[in-house]
Amino acid sequence: MNGRSLRRLVRLNLSRERRASVSSVFGVGVGIASLVFFVALGLGVGRVVREQVFPVDASLVEVVPSQLSLGLLGGKLDQAAVDRLAALPGVEAAYRKMSVRVPAVSFYDGDFFGRRLRMGIEVLAVGVDPDFVKQDVQLGDFGDPGEGKPIPAVAATRLIEIYNKSFAQSRGLPQLSATMLTGFTFPVDWNRSFVAEVKPGPMTRGQLQVVGVSDRGLLAGVVIPLDAARRINRASGVDAATFTGVALKAVEPSKVPGIVEGVKAMGLRVDDQERRMAENAGAAVAITTSAMALLSLLICVLAAFNIAHALSASVRARERELGVMRAVGASRRDVFGLVMAEASVLGLFGGAGGTLLALAAASGVDMLAARVLPEFPFKPDSFFVVPPWLVAGGVALGVLAAVAGAFLPARRASAIDPARVLAGQVG
């Protein structure tokens, strides 16, 4: 059968059975709409978790010293251990980290972006090799400026988000951006604390100057140049030789398992707490999304049954007509193709309509969320991600559901015995 004839017959049959056709399209549309909606929601929430809440770099391995001292066998993160780590197969770079090993507080009393601010806060600081955050440094070269000068500090993107969406709102403080913060300087007293025990060494005064905001920043503190951390530790009389961590950058994510094995063989530990939290959160999102998607697939299956039922009835009602078509030259394959084409059109309309409905619903939810939901950390502009494959998949699944439902009715239609249905009786 040629395409033009097929189109005409399909249009004719579907328009004659408009009510059943609309019902079939509706069934497929509801299934596809819910499927696309929940998958897009899962992808959107997953993206927020992956990129904002737990921005884990898949090619980074965080190495920390062993909790047990292994003596000569290892467990300590000194320069020799760092050199061995950097030499592991698959390692592109090793970034040393050293916490400032004394507590620190900041007393701020002055203008804070147009508001008067007077407060004291505990400060955590970790020194890192400058290359670790250099891509996010907006001011200077992120080196230790030496005694008496403000130490460059990089804040965490997440810290700014949490400040903006919760702390600032509850305290009536201004919203901050990376650009605004860059250059902001605040005082710090090293080896001083409101809550923790201070070290025997002296308390020293200094300043921190924000020079950038980075995903690699410390969630509850700031990142400063490694040499500055060393200097502060040395001045406070604490360990300034060993490192509190090393971030190993793998050549590619697939090399990470081998690197982890190498790290363990050296008697060191891998700190994958952040990665695990990201994985757990991602898994929770994936499970919830999968459950909803499964429910939606069930609706698609029901839609397929609905189409099977509708087309079976249609084929029964059209037995003689199909018999006439056989008599004037239709083959079994033509009849099979005709019924399948009818189902494909129903599925196409259902799939496309359902996908459009899902996109409209997603837009509606985003608009509602923007108006009704209060601001909270990591609240995205859109809760949904709709990649092209999801749109194409929604339409394709609609067609697939309809075609699957139509298979048996189409087989039955193609098996109609024209001699029987046209004669009405044997004689």
Partner 1 sequence: MISARGLCRSYDDGERGQVRVLDDVSFDVQPGEFVAVVGRSGSGKSTLLHVLGGLDTGYRGEVSVAGTALSGLSDAALARFRNEQVGFVFQSFHLVQGLSARDNVALPSFFSPVPPVDAEARAIEALARVGLEGKAERLPSQLSGGERQRVAIARALFARPKVLLCDEPTGNLDAATSEQVVALFTELNKGGLTVLAVTHEDRLRRAASRVLTLVEGKLS
Q: Which stretch binds partner 1 (CB under 8 A): 156-164, 332-340, 377-385, 399-407?
A: 332-340
Q: Which stretch binds partner 1 (CB under 8 A): 95-103, 189-197, 226-234, 412-420?
A: 412-420
CA 188 and chain centroid, separation:
36
Q: How far is the CB of 423 from partner 1 (least distance, A)?
A: 5
Q: CB neighbours of 81 closer than 8 A, spacing ≥ 6?
A: 74, 246, 266, 268
Q: How far is the CB of 34 from partner 1 (least distance, A)?
A: 35
Give whichever of 227 and 321 is closer to partner 1, judged by the CB atom. Answer: 321
Give whichever of 269 and 326 is closer to partner 1, judged by the CB atom. Answer: 326
313 binds partner 1 (CB under 8 A): no
String of DSSP letters for 402-417: HHHHHHHHHHHHHT--
Give whichever of 128 and 345 is closer to partner 1, judged by the CB atom. Answer: 345
CA–CA distances in Å: residue 397 to residues 27, 52, 89, 256, 368: 13, 32, 45, 37, 29
370 binds partner 1 (CB under 8 A): no
Strands 104-112 and 125-128 turn out to be: unpaired
φ/ψ of residue 156, rounded to 5: -85, 140
- DSSP-assigned beta bridge partners for residue 122: 105
**Locus of tokens 């001045």:** 235
φ/ψ of residue 275, rounded to 5: -65, -40
114 binds partner 1 (CB under 8 A): no
DSSP 110: E
Give whichever of 88 and 315 is closer to partner 1, judged by the CB atom. Answer: 315
The correct pick among 249, 294, 328, 364 for binding partner 1 (CB under 8 A) is 328
Q: How far is the CB of 385 from partner 1 (least distance, A)?
A: 45
Please give the size of the binding site for partner 1, defined by CB under 8 A.
31
Q: Which stretch binds partner 1 (CB under 8 A): 73-81, 196-204, 331-339, 399-407?
A: 331-339
Number of H helices, E strands in the chain: 13, 11
Tell which positions 5-24 bind partner 1, by CB under 8 A.
5, 8-9, 12, 15-16
Q: How far is the CB of 409 from partner 1 (least distance, A)?
A: 19
Cβ burial, residue 287 (10 Å; 0-12/13-18/19+)? exposed
The correct pick among 321, 356, 377, 379 for binding partner 1 (CB under 8 A) is 321
Strand order across the 151-156 sheet = 115-122, 104-112, 185-190, 204-214, 151-156, 222-225, 125-128, 91-99, 245-250, 60-64, 269-270
**Locus of tokens 């298979």:** 407
Q: How far is the CB of 23 from partner 1 (least distance, A)?
A: 20
How is residue 341 written in tokens?
């084409």
Q: Kindly write out the interface string for residues 18-57 of this chain, putting x where it contacts partner 1 by CB under 8 A and - elsewhere.
A: ----------------------------------------
φ/ψ of residue 92, rounded to 5: -90, -40
Q: Which stretch binds partner 1 (CB under 8 A): 285-293, 329-337, 351-359, 381-389?
A: 329-337
The correct pick among 134, 333, 360, 387 for binding partner 1 (CB under 8 A) is 333
Contact residues for partner 1, defined by CB under 8 A? 1-2, 5, 8-9, 12, 15-16, 320-321, 323-334, 417-419, 422-427
